[in-house]
Amino acid sequence: MRLVVGSRESRLARLQAERVMGRLKALDPKLELEWRGLSTTGDRYKETPFAALGERGIFVKELQRALLAGEVDVAVHSLKDLPSTLPAGLVLAAVPEREDPRDVLVSRRGLRLRDLPAGARLGTSSARRAAFLKALRPDFDVIPLRGNVDTRLRKALTEDYDGIILAAAGLGRLGLAGQVTEYIPPAIMPPAPGQGALAVEARADAAAVLDLLRRIDDPAARAATAAERAFMRVLGGGCTAAVGAYGRIADGRLSLLGAVAAPDGRRVFRDEVSGDLSAAEELGEDLAHRLLAAGAEQVLAEARP
């Protein structure tokens, strides 16, 4: 079998694709694999705020089109970039073992969030991160920051920022975990649904490919992220909404923390549910309905363009 594996062109995206390719090659050494990098809308407009791009899936749509057109056989994404509803004809074929889902602070002076000075300037273009930073400390000055991980780390060393917020998993995959000043607990900053996990997408009618990819699927990662994505799907949140979710498994039970925050951090709706792994999506849906009933609907409506 020969497979063309597509991903975004960034160094991190290629490393993630190569990690999946390595897992597949270990299953079948005779497998022929080719990597193909594609530019996405989110990559082409690096300085544009997410909200201004006005669409979901800005880092995946071009890869999905290539999949449907038969130009690639497999697409590897960061799962947090993949919308909770997929185009007809495509399936989430595998969610490999998940890495650390937390957000982290990188501070040039080595200060933790609680120790940063009043009015500290923190860089992020994530509405979720900005809102939960404000909920923690309303005095923070949150400054837009986009670009790949290397670019953002370089900017973090300048006097323009007292710190920046990144995903732990991305730094870990790039071998940059030593740059982390603080791992932020999910109770303070619930991660983006799917953060820390990879998504391996394929065509629904490619039976042989799906059979192969099924062998690198991790049941625990699949269940936890399915709950998180169901939570997001019911809420209808996108890049402009401050929605976080964190699923974790202990003693055969799945616990799901979910939260919705207003952009200024003054209103935060947060709750937690637990249940069987087999009911992962139902747990996510139930938690979303709880928060909507508690008043999160108004916050979400205000965040919609």
pLDDT per residue as tens digits for the range 246-268:
999 999 899 999 999 999 999 99
Note whether 60 and 40 are within 8 A (CB).
yes
According to the model, what pLDDT value does residue 246 have? Answer: 98
Helices 11-27 & 207-214, crossing angle to 10 degrees?
90
According to the model, what pLDDT value does residue 288 have? Answer: 97
Q: Domains of the chain, with CATH numbers?
A: 1-96+197-217 (3.40.190.10), 103-184 (3.40.190.10), 219-305 (3.30.160.40)
- Band (pLDDT 50/70/90 cuts) for residue 206 is very high
**Residue 12: pLDDT above 50?**
yes
Q: Which of 78, 239, 56 is nearest to 144 (CA)?
A: 239
Q: Which of 260, 10, 287 is nearest to 127 (CA)?
A: 260
Note whether 219 and 252 are within 8 A (CB).
no
Specify the range with the lowest mean pLDDT, choosing from 125-129, 167-171, 221-225, 228-232: 125-129
- Band (pLDDT 50/70/90 cuts) for residue 219 is very high
Specify the range with the lowest mean pLDDT, choosing from 32-46, 164-178, 214-228: 32-46
According to the model, what pLDDT value does residue 238 have? Answer: 57
Which of 54-58, 240-244, 291-295 holds the top average pLDDT? 291-295
CA 250 vs CA 53, 62, 254, 276: distances in Å = 39, 37, 7, 11
Quick one: average pLDDT of 86-94?
Answer: 97
- Band (pLDDT 50/70/90 cuts) for residue 51 is low
Note whether 255 and 144 are within 8 A (CB).
no
37 vs 53, residue with greater confidence: 37
Find all residues with CB under 8 Å of 301, minimum gap 6, and list them.
none
The sign of the dihedral angle between the CA atoms of 78, 8, 174, 34 is positive
Specify the range with the lowest mean pLDDT, choosing from 56-60, 89-93, 279-283, 296-300: 56-60
The dihedral formed by the CA atoms of 64, 67, 71 and 76, expressed in degrees to the nearest 10: 80
**Residue labelled with tokens 């937390």:** 102
Specify the range with the lowest mean pLDDT, choosing from 12-16, 39-43, 45-49, 137-141: 45-49
Amino acid at 109: R
User: 13 is written with which tokens?
Assistant: 């995206």
302 vs 6, residue with greater confidence: 6
Residues with catalytic roles: 80-81, 128-129, 146, 152, 239
**Residue 150: pLDDT above 90?**
no
**Residue 53: pLDDT above 50?**
no
User: 298 is written with which tokens?
Assistant: 């108004």
- Band (pLDDT 50/70/90 cuts) for residue 48 is low
Query: Rounded to an integer, what is the distance from CA 210 to the centroid of its chain?
Result: 23
d(CA 46, CA 39): 11
Quick one: average pLDDT of 207-225?
Answer: 97
According to the model, what pLDDT value does residue 58 have? Answer: 78
Question: What is 95-155 written as a DSSP string?
Answer: --------EEEE-TT---GGGSPTT-EEE---HHHHHHHHHH-TT-EEE---S-HHHHHHH
Specify the range with the lowest mean pLDDT, choosing from 18-22, 56-60, 297-301: 56-60
Specify the range with the lowest mean pLDDT, choosing from 5-14, 35-44, 104-113, 204-213: 35-44
According to the model, what pLDDT value does residue 89 have? Answer: 97
